[in-house]
A = this chain, B = another copy of it.
Amino acid sequence: MSVLVVGSIGFDTIETPRARAVDVLGGAATYAAVAAQYFAPVRLVAVVGEDFPERERAFLAGRGIDLAGLEVRPGPTFRWTGRYHENMNVRDTLDLRLGVFGEFRPQLPPAYREVEYVFLANIHPGLQASVLDQLTRPRIIVCDTMNHWIESARGDLEALVRRVQLLVINDEEARLLSGESNIVRAARRILQLGPSSVIIKRGEYGAVHFGPDTVFAVPAYPLEEVFDPTGAGDAFAGGLVGYLAASGDLSATGIRRGIVYGSVLASYTVEDFSLERLRSLSRDDVDRRYRQFVGLTEF
């Protein structure tokens, strides 16, 4: 089954304590779509400017990603400049230029409306809701958000999360959304808002999935170097929803395996700047690291 990915495409300028990359391919939807296509066909809804290079379009198309929903508008593509601290869980935004992304109003091509597996990457929750309004038979909606919307659009966000099956946010966002500092209590409070389950991402410490009666924790893959954390969370969500679409298994076990595949994609993503590592990554690589996750956690 296909996966629908809706979100941002952009160019990032990234400084880490040890390196710098200028105007490299980024955007939440980009990472998620490329991660998801290891498992299932992907349909992408996003917007770029007329400056979006043919070679990047060819990269996405070459991965079999359906670009019928990729709108091209006059004006510049979204650009973000950020700097990571020595502790790479912390970053500062140095510059943000929305460009045509500021006019993004997701419109699904008719053929996309019957997609059952959906990842709503981080955009305004009102726009995320407008995507749900266009779907005829979604089976699982996986949804991300960010601090900015929790603070500035809480009403829209709370209305949205009642309609999603799986909210995927990081620990800081979970604390902000719930008002609870303890992560277990934060998750319980978030489930009261309506989503069937929530995944709390904890960067180098992995992720925890809370359902109504179950908890599943997976560590991050232990890496000797995290080169660039950008996009890890989106690759995680893309890998997860891609696996779910491929397997069709939305049982507790299916979601757990999807979370591990998501962790695999996230772990590869951070091994290089931008999507560089994913450009050369094979499905065999993905399956090999999945088996390493088994070895990392079994007792």
Contact = CB atoms under 8 A, between A and B. Distances in A.
Copy total for this chain = 2
Contacts of A259: 299
Contacts of A224: 182, 184-185, 188
B296 A215 contact: yes
Given A184-B223, A224-B184, A217 B86 contact: no
Interface stretch (A112-120, A124-132, A190-198, A200-208): A200-208
Contacts of A223: 182, 184
A160 to B, nearest CB: 26
B205 A205 contact: yes
Given A219-B219, A222-B215, A299 B184 contact: no
Contacts of A219: 206, 208, 217-219
Chain A interface residue number, banded = 20 to 34
A297 B217 contact: yes
A216 interface: yes
Nearest to A220: B217
A296 B183 CA distance: 15
Nearest to A208: B222
A53 interface: no
A145 to B, nearest CB: 22
A136 interface: no
Contacts of A206: 205, 217, 219
Interface string A272-299: 0000000000000000000000011111
Nearest to A180: B224
Interface in A220-250: 222-226
23 contacts: A86-B181, A182-B225, A182-B226, A183-B204, A184-B222, A184-B223, A188-B224, A202-B205, A206-B217, A206-B219, A208-B219, A215-B296, A216-B297, A217-B219, A218-B297, A219-B219, A253-B299, A256-B298, A256-B299, A257-B299, A260-B299, A297-B299, A298-B298
Given A202-B205, A219-B219, A253-B299, 16 more contacts: A86-B181, A182-B223, A182-B224, A183-B204, A183-B222, A205-B205, A205-B206, A215-B222, A215-B296, A217-B296, A256-B298, A257-B299, A259-B299, A260-B299, A297-B297, A298-B298
Pairs of residues from A and B, 5 with the lowest C-beta to C-beta distance, nearest first? A217-B219, A256-B299, A205-B205, A184-B222, A184-B224
